[in-house]
Structure 1
């Protein structure tokens, strides 16, 4: 990684940060300001070292409050969940409560959702198998007592029929869970969450370590119906009807959950439409598949609402939260689970040493206070600043159509896609594009020439992401405009020396 940073010219050390500004050291050891549009990969909704967040952390530590006191009453956790439930109820118009499981990172919050969804599915399967066991016992007793007859194809042997039913059900029940995710998705790089991440370069080296997900085409959510038919399985049950034993089929709960981002981050800042959201919700409800909405990057106010999914009318069964929840200081995450799905027994099979620590809870409460202050002024600010950036990017796309393709996203989670240069006349630009490095080359130039920090999205490397804090200023936007116009002009002129320096003598 250090070699790659050096190659791109972004191997600098940052020594101070405030708001949207980082300071790095130049060769003389002098601090140089850099405008941070990367925003901690979306974690810095409130910017670097927000004064209220910093004050909370100092006060907590200065008071000698315990950071770790597991297996004790932790009322701050209850306050966090109460605040979040208030937000859910306001944004989605619901009154149903959500329970919470705390963790330490976004990928862990996804792992919690994975585990809980499968735990819920397994308990459902056990309940169905328990009912079948009771029905089988009643049918066997009825046949043996002469109160009922067997189906014609049972050859008069009730024990053989019971054996076939039991064996068939055992085989079906042993099937691994089916998880669904959208193409282009990114949900983390831990063992389970990685299988929900569409990028094969990340996923395939570890594919044997966890249940594989099935990926739904992003533009075709109706494909869920076809997948449901392909994955359909049934359990066999015995029923007594009019003095006769009948073999009946019962749908097997094959699907554990569908995971999705309403705005894909690493997939190129692609937003789900209201129509797509409605289709996903309808089809998942029809097959009994809970919906997990990953709000790790899009949530916490970045898109103009606390939950980006509320902007497309999609209420989830699970929400995963992280990044901005910690205010740029704490490493904390949370999985919200709808009350009707929550399994209290889960608390006994899942735990974490560092989750729900006192410092993180205190910081999270302050973050929620800041976001919710003045009737949610922060959300309005994110929407307004995001619209200002969007207008800028659209004007650039219009001005440089040969260089820029489109702008995507919502609020302060935006992506600006550059056109493919894999057939460029300039050889070094062409080689960078063919190596999927063009976005990184542009990022390096923006930092070196204009002191602007941003990066491409991991699975759509021609798309630069812009995720500044809600305190983005007009001057910072103006600086970005000048820098991007310079980049577009130089790309349009195929000025590869601007990006790579003079060609070698060779």
Structure 2
């Protein structure tokens, strides 16, 4: 199929093939409106929700009203290198929320950004700055120890047997040169980044290295530091990976009257990144038991934890942070998507004061981040979430329980079609069975091409006015992420549409799935 579009023509052709080439002209609540052939608006129930960006729904009236007021008031967007009191307000409110949910008094210092991927990269950049400064301080102390040992050697202190072996029979200066060479080589090794299998942390040059999906990551693997992936819910493998990646450097000390070698742990672990609920990996929540082990292992290794709450945070799972429900504390938290109230491009990296490096404030910046418009929208969004003692968090949990119950009914009635339903709150997934061995040539080919979930989404859109998408790295899992405002009637509508989809798949009717 050809297309005349100049903007992303390949993507447009794929959307047309799968029945997803739709232009939406208006949005409100959980509804997107497309234009029909007769010019009338056709409402579509949106369960994609901007991949988690619309916890308050499309164009929440209070957020929209504030945005209009701010634009009318001509609040500055570009006022870099000046004071930003509205950003300070957001940072204080986020600290209050984190203190309540985690019990950690903090404080967390805020680095603002425009997107989740950018905020992830800011977290990794900061963690690497912290690691590098610690390594440099260690090497400086080792340099001082070498000078002390040199003075001792001049005063007649012999070299220990181990020191003699490293010096290869030479004198103290040969030993010092060998120690320096070993340390330089080990210090120049790249930092170690860890993430979980199935992770998704963005698609920028740095963040794409932290995204597990090989199709997304590998074309760009030469551009930035690689990441080591470990399976979720497997603390033993995490501990083994950390142990394997550890390195030591050498110092010198006077021991028993002789100059001897001393080993020091080299700070090499940059960070472990994880999502408390893996979004693009198939909507898979981590367990509290695993979180406890991660916390213990990383604390012992002094490996900072970056908690990516871009999709799971902002109340979507029934608590402000999905990680707080499983007892996971981060050295860094990353928030985005719904932080902008579904309108503004807003994101933030929160850095625990115990790791914060003031130098970072001059080493990192972003043109559009921290402006008055986005931070005032973020502040209003936090106000709405926190109102009435967190009523919206409770509603997210209640709405999620209702949807999960109905999805579980679909699974139970169509076990030949649905593998599983899972998730927390309003971050849910329905996993379809693979159809690679289907008697239907259409279903067989769709499944083998990895687009069955997208074809299912196209069918739901065109036959039932329901908008869902599969998760990016688990393409048979349909994501369901509505706003807290979703009604019983819309939930019932979604259930009916999903049941109808399952009937089509049970009948192995590939032609009908594609609307032919």
TM-score of Structure 1 vs Structure 2, range by shorter chain: over 0.9
Which residue of 2 is the match for residue 33 of structure 1?
A: 43
Tell me if the contact between 1:19 and 1:471 (Cα under 8 Å) persists in the aligned partners: yes
Alpha-carbon distance in structure 2 between the residues aligned to 1:40 and 1:77? 24
Tell me if the contact between 1:42 and 1:467 (Cα under 8 Å) persists in the aligned partners: yes
Which residue of 2 is the match for residue 10 of structure 1?
A: 20
Helix, strand or coil at the partner of 2:421: strand
Alpha-carbon distance in structure 1 between the residues aligned to 2:446 and 2:274? 31
Which residue of 1 is the match for residue 496 of structure 2?
A: 482
Tell me if the contact between 2:77 and 2:368 (Cα under 8 Å) persists in the aligned partners: no
Is residue 106 from structure 1 mapped to residue 103 from structure 2 by the alignment? no
Helix, strand or coil at the partner of 2:212: coil
Aligned with residue 218 of structure 1, among 221, 225, 232 = 232
- Could you list the per-position Cα deviations for residues 102-127 of structure 1 after superposition, in whole angstroms to 9, with x for gaps in the alignment? 11100000100110011000000001
Which residue of 2 is the match for residue 73 of structure 1?
A: 83
Which residue of 2 is the match for residue 385 of structure 1?
A: 399
In structure 1, the gaps of 5 or more residues are none
- Could you list the per-position Cα deviations for residues 426-468 of structure 1 after superposition, in whole angstroms to 9, with x for gaps in the alignment? 1101111111111011100100011010100011111000000
Which residue of 2 is the match for residue 316 of structure 1?
A: 330
Alpha-carbon distance in structure 2 between the residues aligned to 1:387 and 1:221? 29
Tell me if the contact between 1:184 and 1:264 (Cα under 8 Å) persists in the aligned partners: yes
Aligned with residue 198 of structure 2, among 184, 189, 196 = 184
Alpha-carbon distance in structure 2 between the residues aligned to 1:89 and 1:501? 52
Tell me if the contact between 1:182 and 1:216 (Cα under 8 Å) persists in the aligned partners: yes
Which residue of 1 is the match for residue 189 of structure 2?
A: 175
Alpha-carbon distance in structure 2 between the residues aligned to 1:501 and 1:231? 52
Alpha-carbon distance in structure 1 between the residues aligned to 2:100 and 2:360? 27
Tell me if the contact between 1:236 and 1:249 (Cα under 8 Å) persists in the aligned partners: yes
Deviation for aligned residue 1:156: 6.2
Aligned with residue 352 of structure 2, among 322, 338, 350 = 338
Helix, strand or coil at the partner of 1:114: helix
Aligned with residue 95 of structure 2, among 79, 85, 95 = 85
- Could you list the per-position Cα deviations for residues 112-155 of structure 1 after superposition, in whole angstroms to 9, with x for gaps in the alignment? 01100110000000010010011100110121133x32223254
Alpha-carbon distance in structure 2 between the residues aligned to 1:294 and 1:156? 52
Which residue of 2 is the match for residue 358 of structure 1?
A: 372
Alpha-carbon distance in structure 1 between the residues aligned to 2:242 and 2:454? 39
Deviation for aligned residue 1:232: 2.1
Deviation for aligned residue 1:285: 1.1
Helix, strand or coil at the partner of 1:407: strand
Aligned with residue 149 of structure 1, among 118, 138, 158 = 158
Is residue 442 from structure 1 mapped to residue 451 from structure 2 by the alignment? no
Which residue of 1 is the match for residue 381 of structure 2?
A: 367
Aligned with residue 363 of structure 2, among 323, 342, 349 = 349
Aligned with residue 400 of structure 1, among 414, 422, 435 = 414
Deviation for aligned residue 1:62: 1.2
Alpha-carbon distance in structure 2 between the residues aligned to 1:189 and 1:178? 19
Is residue 452 from structure 1 mapped to residue 466 from structure 2 by the alignment? yes
Alpha-carbon distance in structure 1 between the residues aligned to 2:48 and 2:399? 15
Alpha-carbon distance in structure 1 between the residues aligned to 2:243 and 2:297? 12
Tell me if the contact between 2:76 and 2:372 (Cα under 8 Å) persists in the aligned partners: yes
Alpha-carbon distance in structure 2 between the residues aligned to 1:228 and 1:500? 47
Alpha-carbon distance in structure 1 between the residues aligned to 2:33 and 2:106? 46
Aligned with residue 42 of structure 1, among 35, 41, 52 = 52
Deviation for aligned residue 1:266: 0.6
Alpha-carbon distance in structure 1 between the residues aligned to 2:98 and 2:173? 53
Which residue of 2 is the match for residue 207 of structure 1?
A: 221
TM-score of the pair, normalised by structure 2 = 0.96
Alpha-carbon distance in structure 2 between the residues aligned to 1:376 and 1:230? 44
Deviation for aligned residue 1:489: 1.1
Helix, strand or coil at the partner of 1:24: strand
TM-score of the pair, normalised by structure 1 = 0.98
Deviation for aligned residue 1:496: 2.2
Helix, strand or coil at the partner of 1:401: coil
Tell me if the contact between 2:458 and 2:514 (Cα under 8 Å) persists in the aligned partners: no
Tell me if the contact between 1:222 and 1:279 (Cα under 8 Å) persists in the aligned partners: no
Helix, strand or coil at the partner of 1:363: helix
Tell me if the contact between 1:393 and 1:407 (Cα under 8 Å) persists in the aligned partners: yes
- Could you list the per-position Cα deviations for residues 32-72 of structure 1 after superposition, in whole angstroms to 9, with x for gaps in the alignment? 00010000011011110001111111111111221221111
Deviation for aligned residue 1:500: 2.2
Tell me if the contact between 2:44 and 2:465 (Cα under 8 Å) persists in the aligned partners: yes
Tell me if the contact between 2:32 and 2:46 (Cα under 8 Å) persists in the aligned partners: yes
Q: Give matches, 1:404-415, under 5 Å.
A: 404-415=418-429
Which residue of 2 is the match for residue 424 of structure 1?
A: 438
- Could you list the per-position Cα deviations for residues 274-330 of structure 1 after superposition, in whole angstroms to 9, with x for gaps in the alignment? 111111111111111100010000000100011000010001000111000001111
Aligned with residue 487 of structure 2, among 459, 473, 479 = 473
- Aligned pair count reads 501
Helix, strand or coil at the partner of 1:195: helix
